[in-house]
A and B are shown apart, each in its own frame.
Chain A
């Protein structure tokens, strides 16, 4: 029985990646759910907003790097994030003022908003690709690994080398800090409570004297911050490819609905549920089970429940299960 090796293997390929991926989805899902709760539509442009924010961060990172500025073992991109946030906020507010506001005033249906967000999606998609090109960009610098697999294997005597990338730790810490601040804001400040009230019951919020324009402004600011951070973390961890950001929107939507649409805590947990499921169900457990001497080392079967190509199927299956058994989501959100 080699519990330690089995455990290390699981950490390397399931637990740590799930936490990382889950954090990225969680941040994205919270953004989508906030837009849904306050502005009342599913924003299909959110993925490309994340791409836009990341693009700005990359450009500023390159500029900083060209001036010889770096951040030691941490990626320089972290220094660029605040600037990325500012620009993303600006473009979100621009689109809100000149596009979405018109339909809000007209009290258009949610379908209209979805279609309009498609238009914004095309625009952002084009802008990102025209400015930075469609190719893979790797903007990670600084120390790549906090714990290196080879060094681990050498210093301990385990067969499995545990490795921990800097980006994984950064993702976890950044997400934790961001979410802590966000939930503090939502639960303990006047404006945060007003936002939750407005999201819960718009008419009553107006009757309580809450200023809707202020709420909407704050929402776009928060959402832009989350989009930039989430997009940058994802880009640092994997690489920046504009095309993948829209695809990531699908599990993010699933996470939002699973957690209860309109419910930020639900979105947070939903992100992790989806991430863990996607990774755990597509992992090949063969080596893991061999370590635990549950199966014979000569088996050819990979013991993989479903191929990694079917990641979408998992998000969708979870979505369907939740919609059938618990339509408001695991944590209560707005009813269907």
Chain B
């Protein structure tokens, strides 16, 4: 199969979206587009780690959740009462935690050759856990008892939500630093398992520490960088605009309502698209820089690179942090778009492995590839359910509406998405393992 030109691929994607718009609705089409852009950014982050440095990060879900958490702690209004009763306790605990991590890093540096240094760090951590609980225990309890139905947590900084995207990136990068320090010397399969486990821990922390994130009670009503539909529907300038576009008289109320929805989504599209372009520009610059070429050289032949004296782990750590930052950024974007933060929704299959399918299908080692992969896979993910439904209904036309087999099949329509993903991934790995848009090779 010949390689498709990236422009052609995107044009085809565009056509598909237009078809969805016509056959289903424009609202659906634009939602798909928005989520495609977010998915594209997620895959770019993963691709930077995998395609450019050969690192397998199966902890994507964790970094996405950190990004989501950032939206909460940056943009939600602070719960002053909670801060008064528990704020100091939390601050002491945070200082304690930072102190502990710093101390461990210092011990690692000062006692580098000491045989028992790891042992000391280990004992330190084990003893700190009950200590931390003691410092923070009562504060956490008090915070969570303040208006638990609607709050029960510290709230956030009340800043505009776009800030949280950057904070999410920084938070993810910091956590990536810690993870990288522990795990990056391991070989691929161990790194995969370790990152998978860590993402589980991150989600556990977010779900459990209700004083921080409300845990499984979820946070709703996040702020928006775009107007609200209700406001639009009552703004004169908007009504005038729709009337203008609607050739043939004044627009109906229904039209105004549905247009407001589309308008809001388009606002997001513009914001997301600009973000994507900026990230793409930066990433392409990095990839084609001497630094980028060196990273790929390390990836292709680690043994040779090591013998040239390059400090591999240090470079891998920076790439790991950058990739994780982008993933965190995308996580914050996603939660912003949804308007709510639901920690329980973070599942490995949907958030980690689906994105891996995007990277692999699109073409690892190639920014345009991951963007295309994000689009294609997300499109298939969303559309396979309705398409599967149509196919099932067609093949079971002769069956009665209440037939148990028919009902069962209709109920299982959501899982056909997983089927598509599995088959798609296997087909790509078999017939086009470099992906749809392969890495442009510099090999002679």
A and B in direct contact, judged by CB atoms within 8 A = yes
Residues of A at under 8 Å CB distance from B?
Answer: 41-42, 99, 102, 110-112, 114-116, 118-127, 129-130, 133-134, 243, 246-247, 250, 253-254, 257, 305-307, 309-313, 315-316, 319-321, 323-325, 336
Q: Is the CB of A325 within 8 A of B118?
A: yes
Chain B: interface residue total (CB-CB under 8 A):
48
B411 interface residue (CB < 8 Å to A): yes
Beta-carbon contacts under 8 Å, B120-147 to A:
122, 129-130
Q: Is the CB of A99 within 8 A of B426?
A: yes
25 contacts between A and B (CB under 8 A): A42-B192, A42-B193, A102-B430, A111-B188, A114-B189, A114-B192, A116-B429, A122-B421, A124-B422, A125-B349, A125-B418, A126-B415, A129-B412, A129-B418, A130-B409, A133-B411, A250-B196, A257-B190, A309-B208, A310-B201, A310-B204, A319-B197, A321-B122, A323-B186, A336-B190
B153 interface residue (CB < 8 Å to A): no
Q: Is the CB of B193 within 8 A of A122?
A: no
In angstroms, how far is the closest chain B Cβ from the Cβ of A25? Answer: 14
Q: Is the CB of B433 within 8 A of A323?
A: no
Q: How many A-B residue contacts, CB cutoff 8 Å?
A: 130
Residues in A with CB closer than 8 Å to B201 are: 310, 312-313, 316
Q: Which of B190, B357, B411 has the most CB of A within 10 A?
A: B190
Beta-carbon contacts under 8 Å, B388-444 to A:
408-409, 411-412, 415-419, 421-423, 425-426, 429-430, 433
Which applies to chain A's interface (DSSP): helix, strand, loop or mixed?
A: helix
Chain A: CB-nearest residue to B125: A317
Q: Is the CB of B422 within 8 A of A123?
A: yes
B87 interface residue (CB < 8 Å to A): no
Chain B: CB-nearest residue to A254: B197
A4 and B15 CA atoms in complex are apart in Å by: 74
B358 interface residue (CB < 8 Å to A): no
In angstroms, how far is the closest chain B Cβ from the Cβ of A54? Answer: 17
Residues in B with CB closer than 8 Å to A336 are: 186-187, 190
Residues in B with CB closer than 8 Å to A129 are: 412, 415, 418
Residues in A with CB closer than 8 Å to B430 are: 99, 102
Residues in B with CB closer than 8 Å to A319 are: 193-194, 197
B348 interface residue (CB < 8 Å to A): yes
Given A127-B419, A130-B416, A319-B197, do A111 and B411 touch, yes or no (CB 8 Å)?
A: no
Q: Is the CB of B190 within 8 A of A323?
A: yes
Given A122-B422, A126-B416, do A312 and B187 touch, yes or no (CB 8 Å)?
A: no
Q: Which of A99, A123, A124 has the most CB of B within 10 A?
A: A123
A336 and B190 CA atoms in complex are apart in Å by: 9
Q: Is the CB of B197 within 8 A of A315?
A: yes
A146 and B118 CA atoms in complex are apart in Å by: 46
Q: Is the CB of B193 within 8 A of A253?
A: yes
Residues in B with CB closer than 8 Å to A116 are: 425-426, 429
In angstroms, how far is the closest chain A Cβ from the Cβ of B189? Answer: 5
In angstroms, how far is the closest chain B Cβ from the Cβ of A285? Answer: 12
Which of A41, A254, A305, A311 makes the CB contact (< 8 A) with B130? A305
